Structure 1
Amino acid sequence: MAAEIGISPATLYIWRRQYGGVDTDAAKELGALREQNARLKRLLADAELEKYALREIAK
């Protein structure tokens, strides 16, 4: 099956392990949630860096 869609068997295995039993809509929602989570983590990291810089300047 992997050769039919042009991916490696390892990639297919990973997809099946990660998304096995999940319907298409749920998989799309999971992908969107992961993107949002990554964006929020970057925002938090930026805010923490800014707080750190302000504390260092205040010293």
Structure 2
Amino acid sequence: MRKRRFSVEQMIGVLKQAQVGVPVAEVIRKAGISEQTFYRWKAKYAGLEVDEVRKMAQLQEENLRLKQLVAELTLDKTMLQDVLSKKW
């Protein structure tokens, strides 16, 4: 996975600059990002604080781990059912 160029704090800082009235063109020029990147960040992080974003990322990671665990257990269950259904 590629390392992020901007931290969560920096992303939210850029969004807050635009929120307080600095023109978007000036904000993206100073940050060195594209307009598309700015609006993608805005769609994802608008109105959130840094701790909320970190909590969201933590929950997404936990959700991924739990989904993988469910998939493994489902596979185990299916294999055991196949073994039990066969006549010896």
Same topology, TM > 0.5: yes
- Tell me the percent identity: 33
Name the structure 2 match of 1:35: 61
Name the structure 2 match of 1:10: 36
Q: Flag structure 2 segments of 5+ consecutive residues without an equivalent.
A: 1-27
Please list the CA deviations of residues 15-52 of structure 1 after superposition, one character each: whole Å capped at 9, or x if unmatched: 21011000000000000000000000100110011000
The alignment's C-alpha RMSD in Å is 1.8
**Larger relative contact order (CA 8 Å, sep ≥ 6):** 2
Name the structure 1 match of 2:48: 22
Q: Please, what TM-score do these two structures have when normalized by structure 2?
A: 0.57
Task: State the 1:58 CA deviation.
Answer: 1.1
Runs of 4+ in 1 over 4 A off after TM superposition: none
Q: Please, what TM-score do these two structures have when normalized by structure 1?
A: 0.81
- Structure number having the greater helix percentage: 1
